[in-house]
């Protein structure tokens, strides 16, 4: 199997895991402090990827040379810390399906940034596919819903999810640049989660909520570990995929996940499914299929 096929399969795997993760995490985070939830998961996964990097001899003293450390710190602060905090705050007060679809505006921002900073070439077919996906997302976004206990402030939640997604797009570009410069995807993953967890624990200390970690119930702890396992699978597949294919293509394939999230949201939370949301889902599916057929044109340096 060549790199293109392997990277595409890994991107689809990341999309599947992401689609399952959003409604599951919505269920877990409703009665838990989002910062505690995110910081604990990030720390556990960061330590796992650190161990993988160490055992595979990817973690060396050369990490401190040049700008590698700077890129890794940025990846951790932006993608592993602030973006996760905003995202789970937003997911707590909007529906899982809306959170999923708004999160999947990621390819729009990623493609623009990849074109500007990584000089990635964006084929016409990919632009058409992104246009279809964007129309699908717009159709869903403008379907207003009535607040309930499970989605108390959808408008604010939507804004927080969008801000988090923009930050993840920035992080993806920095991560791809780091890998172009020879960094291992395992080291990038470890930095993202470990540095992100330190940032989040710092937030807990600043707001005086660190003691919330020690008041978790047994059920919450079990939920936390389930969510951590799901996140590990996503991070592993995602960073492995963008090591092999264009980050803009991988991000576009992720647009499959909100369709999965929407179906699970209906089953788990009885979330509303307006007609425009269904139409938008269809556009996302077609667009994701088209973009999966685009061959990556690799960038070796800048």
Tens-of-pLDDT digits for all 302 residues of the chain?
Answer: 888 899 999 999 999 998 999 899 888 887 788 889 989 998 998 898 888 878 776 555 555 555 578 888 999 999 999 999 999 999 989 888 888 878 877 878 888 898 888 888 888 888 888 888 888 878 877 777 888 888 888 889 988 999 999 999 999 999 988 888 777 878 888 889 999 999 999 999 998 888 888 888 999 999 999 999 998 899 889 889 988 988 878 877 877 888 888 888 888 888 887 788 788 878 877 887 787 777 766 544 33
State residue 235's pLDDT score. 85
Q: How far apart are CA 124 and CA 247, in angstroms?
A: 16
State residue 64's pLDDT score. 52
H or E segment at 59? none
Domain locations in the chain as residue ranges: 3-292
Q: How far apart are CA 263 and CA 79, in angstroms?
A: 27
State residue 8's pLDDT score. 92
Q: How many CB atoms lie within 10 A of CB 286?
A: 14
CA distances to 61, 98, 286 from 151, in Å? 47, 10, 29
Beta-sheet strands, E only, within 166-287: none
State residue 67's pLDDT score. 58
State residue 196's pLDDT score. 93
């Amino acid at each position: 199997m060549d790199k293109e096929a392997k990277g595409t399969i890994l991107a689809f795997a990341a999309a599947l895991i992401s689609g399952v993760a959003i409604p599951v995490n919505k269920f877990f985070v409703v009665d838990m402090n989002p910062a505690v939830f995110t910081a604990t998961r990030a720390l556990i996964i960061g330590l796992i990827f650190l161990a993988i990097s160490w055992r595979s001899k990817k973690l060396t003293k050369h990490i401190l040379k040049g700008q590698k450390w700077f890129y890794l710190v940025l990846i951790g602060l932006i993608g592993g810390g602030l973006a996760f905090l905003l995202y789970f705050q937003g997911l707590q007060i909007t529906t899982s399906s809306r959170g999923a679809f708004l999160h999947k505006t990621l390819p729009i921002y990623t493609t623009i940034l990849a074109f500007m900073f990584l000089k990635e070439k964006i084929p016409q077919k990919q632009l058409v596919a992104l246009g279809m996906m964007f129309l699908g997302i717009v159709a869903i976004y403008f379907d207003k819903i009535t607040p309930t206990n499970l989605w108390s402030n959808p408008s604010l939640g939507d804004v927080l999810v969008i801000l988090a997604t923009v930050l993840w797009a920035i992080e993806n570009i920095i991560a791809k640049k780091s890998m172009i410069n020879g960094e291992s995807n395992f080291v990038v993953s470890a930095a993202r989660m470990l540095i992100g967890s330190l940032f989040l624990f710092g937030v807990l200390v600043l707001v005086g909520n660190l003691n919330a970690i020690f008041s978790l119930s047994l059920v919450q702890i079990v939920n936390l570990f389930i969510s951590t396992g799901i996140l590990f699978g996503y991070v592993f597949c995602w960073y492995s995929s963008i090591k092999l294919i264009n980050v803009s293509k991988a991000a576009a394939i992720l647009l499959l996940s909100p369709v999965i999230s929407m179906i699970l949201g209906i089953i788990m939370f009885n979330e509303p499914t307006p007609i425009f949301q269904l139409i938008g889902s269809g556009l996302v599916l077609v667009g994701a299929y088209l973009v999966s057929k685009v061959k990556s044109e690799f960038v070796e340096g800048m």
